[in-house]
Structure formats: C-alpha cells, structure tokens
C-alpha cells in the first residue's frame, strides 16, 4: 500500500517563526513528530511518503500515487486540514485522520473516512487489524494511556531535514498540574509517563546519524514533571551523550518550580539545555487562583525567572489576559512584569477555552461559550464572553503588544536578559554548512534590521553594547534581534 502522510499548513503565528526562518533560509521550524512516529508504527512493507505542506506543495501527482492519506495536526491548522481533506476526497483517496485537532473535534470533519484518535500507540493497532480484514470502523478512540516505553523511533528519514530549523523529540507525556484552561491533562493525563534514557539516546543517535547537528526541542508539556527520573536517568545519559557527540543544543517546556532546584538547573545546562518555555500566565494572584495555576502562586516570579536565567537557561514565557478576575490594571502589570523579568520571547494571548478543559465546561454551563477556539495564541480572538468589557480587553491587549514589541522596549528587554544570562559551558559543534548559514543570517540581519528596518538605531546599539559588554553572547543577540522582527510582523498582522 502507498501511504501519504500529510501535515497541514501552520498559519503565520507567534510560534511559526516564518519571518525569522527567512534569515536562515528554512521553510519550517520542525518536522511533524507525531506523523513521523505514526509512520514508524505502520506495516514495514507499506511504502510511505511525507508531505509537509509547510515545506512542500501538495501536488496532484502525490494524491495520484497514494492509496491512502494519513493526516494529523493541531487546532491552529484546522483550515488547512479542511482544504487538504476536500482535495483528497475530490480524487477519491481514502483519508485517515488523527492527532490533537481531530481528537478534539472530529465531528467537524464529515469528509474523512476514518478517525484514529487519542494516542496512536493504543488506537492504531486495532485500526490496522480491522483495515486488513476489510472491516475498519469510522472512529477509534480510547481512554487508555499508552506505555510510551514501547514507542518506536520516528522515521525522520521521510523528512527533508535541511528544510527545518530544529528537530523535535518527546521524553514524557502528561503533567502533574491541573490548570483549568489547559487541555494537556485531558489528552494525556496527570501522571507523567516517560521513555527510558536508552530510548532518548537512540532517537538522538538516529538524528545524528542522519547528519543533524542543530537544535532539538523536547516537546514535553512539562519536562520536569518527573524530577527523580531526570536526575537519576535521563540527564546523566544526556550529559554523557553530549561529551561523546559534541554540543547539540536542547530546549523544552517546564514549570516555574524549576527555579527551586539548583541541582536540576545545573544538570539541565550541563546536558545542553539552553532555553525553557514557562507558563507564567499572569502576575495577578487572584487570576492564578481562578485558573488553578497553584504552582505559580505565592512566589516572586520575577526573581524566579532571573534565577533560571543565571543558571544558563533562557526563559521564554507565556502570558494570558482575559481571566474573570482581571481588571484594567492587568495590562500595565503584564507590561511591567515582562520588561522587568527580561523575558524576551513573551507570548501574550487572550484567554481561550479548549474543548475538554474545566474552563470550557464551566463557561458552557454559564452560557458564555461562543465558538470553537482558533488555536492561535496571539490572534486577538476569544471563544467566550469575558467578564471585562470586550472593547476594553481588546484595547488593553493591543497596548501590551504595542509596548513590548516596539523596537525601543524589545531591545531594552534583550539587554535586561543578556545582563543576567550566564551561558552554559556546552558549545555547539557546528559543521561548515551551519556556520555559513549563521554568517549569512547575520548579514541579512544587517540589511533588514540595521539598514531598512524601523529598529535600525536600536539594532546597532544592541550589537555594539553586546560586543563590548557580553561578546560571547553576540550570536544570541543577533538571534533575538531576528526573533523581534518576526514577533512584530505577527503582531502587526493579527492585532495591531
């Protein structure tokens, strides 16, 4: 059987990095980890091809070749997924859909032939068995959580790795916390399930053997959900792997309590982690209580962030406005927090209610739900009626983005971060192609940001400040300047 695995297009969003990727001549941030993992679970005798429409156009020839299409995606890819399924059905190709988008709202996609929902390790085998016998059902779902110690190494060889800026792997699923706006626990449960250190090393070895020398994103929703296994198994294995292979940079997502564990921070930095994303959400204690973000309550969050930065980990942050307890003062408080903390990559969004969350169910009971969520963190939309006046909320949100991503305040924040940041000792061993790639990105930044860009004065001030004050961080300063260009473009497109 010829199987075509299709990944829908990401719109121009905060995390797409589309405007930044142009500087390094890449098409997308990372290949579709879920589809490549599913590909490894399919019968070995099947012929498999990947079409990631973020890097390759879906052509008639691709669909003519395929006996079956497997499509997966996230909510933000909804519109692209719809168009792809329609194209498949127009030429009579069978469509099998799975992943977070379809698990949340498969009823919205009547054209798809089969749905393999929840975790594929559990629902894919019975589908394949039924398919072989010619009696495949329309929907396969489960409340069971998979044993991911049996999950195979993804088939990265199906992807053109040169088109991507980073690779993704997964160590754990699930999160011990219970934030009421987050659908992670609805999808994957509260108990973090982990892969063995041997599995992770095997996955890294495979990427290395395929020639990958760039960054790797551990896509765990909370990488430190099981600290004991990290300290005793995975991180020691990664430290040894880095010594042998030489400097592959990692980044991941964690909770703020990382700041309480000096040993864990040191081990993560030694293992090659340079960046962590943290859901800060809000500096308002009442709003943190409202959304059950208890791990963030009663803390000096600014000092927590700086402690992590000084340990050699850049903090990227997620922020939300639109909680029921928010008052108009929250907009300036968010601005002040972001600027003071030196969180350069600050994703600020209006609150949305994903299906399956406690927030969604509460708003449904209160009659405040309006529509399906967009899945885009910074498009300025809400799918429910907020307590605050909507015009006031939108104007305050707009003011936050105008402030934090204006060149003056953005570059000021970069300096605040660079003053605190102590880079890890691990140094990436880049090959000639990567070195040339970064050199060309630097020269492109000179033209786009330093000559024709609205931020040119701030760009040159940052470059010279870094050269004289923190010269070892010069490449990072250039990277953050390029990120700022992307963030401004996205904000202008969606909100400003």
Tell me: the pLDDT tens digits for 163-207? 999 999 999 999 999 899 998 888 888 888 999 999 999 999 999
Whole-number pLDDT of residue 164 = 97
Average pLDDT, the chain: 95
Domain ranges of the chain: 2-140, 165-420
Collect all residues with Cβ–Cβ distance below 8 Å to 277 and sequence separation of at least 6: 251, 252, 253, 254, 315, 316, 317, 318, 345
Share of the chain above pLDDT 70, in %: 98
Query: Residue 75: which of 33, 103, 35 has the closest Cα?
Result: 103
d(CA 255, CA 43): 38
Collect all residues with Cβ–Cβ distance below 8 Å to 320 and sequence separation of at least 6: 181, 281, 282, 348, 349, 350, 351
Report the sign of the C-alpha dihedral through residues 309, 311, 314, 318, in that order: negative
Collect all residues with Cβ–Cβ distance below 8 Å to 467 and sequence separation of at least 6: 474
Share of the chain above pLDDT 90, in %: 89
Average pLDDT over residues 139-148: 96
User: With helix as H, strand as E and coil as C, how does 57-124 read?
Assistant: CCCHHHHHHCCEEEEECCHHHHHHHHHHHHHHHHCCCEEEEECHHHHHHHHHCCCCCEEECCCHHHHH
Whole-number pLDDT of residue 344 = 98
Whole-number pLDDT of residue 247 = 78
Tell me: the pLDDT tens digits for 390-431? 999 999 999 999 999 999 999 999 999 999 998 877 666 666
Whole-number pLDDT of residue 305 = 98
Whole-number pLDDT of residue 430 = 64
Tell me: the pLDDT tens digits for 28-41? 999 999 999 999 99
Position 493 confidence tier, pLDDT thresholds 50, 70, 90 = confident
Whole-number pLDDT of residue 4 = 98
176 or 317, greater pLDDT: 317
Q: What is the DSSP string of 195-213?
A: --HHHHHHHHHHHHHTT--
496 pLDDT above the threshold of 70: no
Whole-number pLDDT of residue 427 = 61
Tell me: the pLDDT tens digits for 249-286? 999 999 999 999 999 999 999 999 999 999 999 999 99
The verdict on pTM exceeding 0.85 is yes
371 or 387, greater pLDDT: 387
Whole-number pLDDT of residue 428 = 61
Tell me: the pLDDT tens digits for 432-449? 777 888 899 999 999 999
CATH 3.20.20.70 fits 165-420, yes or no: yes
Whole-number pLDDT of residue 369 = 95
Return the CATH number of 2-140, one of 3.40.50.280, 2.60.40.10, 3.40.50.970, 3.30.43.10: 3.40.50.280
Average pLDDT over residues 38-53: 98
Tell me: the pLDDT tens digits for 232-248? 999 999 999 999 987 78
The reply to whether 165-420 shares the fold of 2-140 is no
Position 376 confidence tier, pLDDT thresholds 50, 70, 90 = confident
């Amino acid at each position: 059987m010829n199987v075509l695995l299709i990944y829908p297009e990401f719109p121009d969003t905060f995390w797409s990095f589309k405007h930044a990727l142009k500087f390094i001549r890449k098409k997308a941030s990372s290949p579709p980890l879920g589809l490549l993992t599913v590909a490894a679970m399919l019968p070995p005798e099947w012929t498999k091809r990947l079409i990631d429409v973020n890097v390759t156009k879906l052509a008639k020839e691709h669909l003519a070749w395929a006996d079956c299409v497997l499509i997966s995606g996230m909510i933000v890819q909804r519109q692209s997924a719809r168009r792809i399924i329609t194209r498949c059905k127009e030429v009579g190709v069978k469509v099998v859909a799975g992943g977070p988008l379809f698990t949340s709202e498969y009823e919205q996609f009547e054209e798809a032939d089969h749905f393999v929902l929840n975790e594929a390790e559990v629902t894919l085998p019975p589908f394949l068995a039924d398919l072989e016998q010619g009696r495949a059902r329309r929907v396969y779902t489960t409340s069971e959580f998979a044993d991911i110690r049996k999950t195979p190494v993804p088939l990265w060889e199906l992807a053109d790795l040169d088109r991507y800026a980073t690779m993704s792997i997964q160590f754990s699923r699930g999160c011990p916390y219970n934030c009421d706006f987050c659908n992670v626990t609805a999808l994957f449960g509260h108990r973090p399930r982990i892969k063995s250190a041997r599995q992770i090393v095997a996955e890294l070895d495979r990427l290395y053997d395929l020639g990958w020398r760039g960054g790797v994103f551990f896509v765990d929703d909370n990488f430190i959900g099981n600290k004991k296994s990290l300290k005793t198994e995975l991180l020691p294995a990664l430290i040894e792997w880095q010594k042998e292979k030489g400097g592959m940079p990692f980044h991941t997502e964690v909770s703020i309590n990382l700041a309480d564990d000096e040993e864990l921070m040191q081990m993560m930095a030694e293992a090659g982690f340079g960046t962590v994303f943290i859901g800060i959400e809000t500096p308002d204690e009442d709003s943190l209580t409202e959304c059950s973000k208890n791990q963030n309550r009663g803390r000096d969050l600014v000092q927590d962030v700086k402690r992590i930065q000084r340990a050699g980990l850049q903090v990227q942050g997620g922020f939300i406005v639109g909680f029921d307890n928010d008052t108009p003062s929250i907009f300036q408080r968010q601005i002040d927090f972001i600027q003071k903390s030196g969180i350069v990559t600050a994703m600020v969004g209006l609150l949305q209610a994903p299906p399956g969350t406690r927030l969604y169910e509460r708003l449904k009971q209160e009659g405040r739900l309006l529509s399906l969520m967009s899945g885009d963190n910074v498009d300025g939309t809400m799918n429910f009626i907020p307590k605050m006046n909507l015009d006031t909320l939108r104007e305050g949100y707009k003011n936050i983005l105008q402030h934090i991503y204006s060149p003056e305040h953005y570059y000021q924040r970069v300096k605040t971060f660079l003053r605190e940041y102590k880079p890890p000792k691990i140094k990436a061993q880049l090959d000639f192609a990567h070195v040339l790639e970064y050199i060309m990105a630097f020269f492109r930044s000179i033209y786009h940001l330093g000559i024709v860009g609205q931020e040119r004065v701030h760009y040159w001030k940052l470059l010279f400040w870094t050269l004289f004050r923190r010269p070892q961080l010069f490449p990072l300063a250039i990277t953050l300047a390029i990120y700022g260009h992307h963030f401004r473009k996205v904000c202008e497109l969606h909100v400003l």
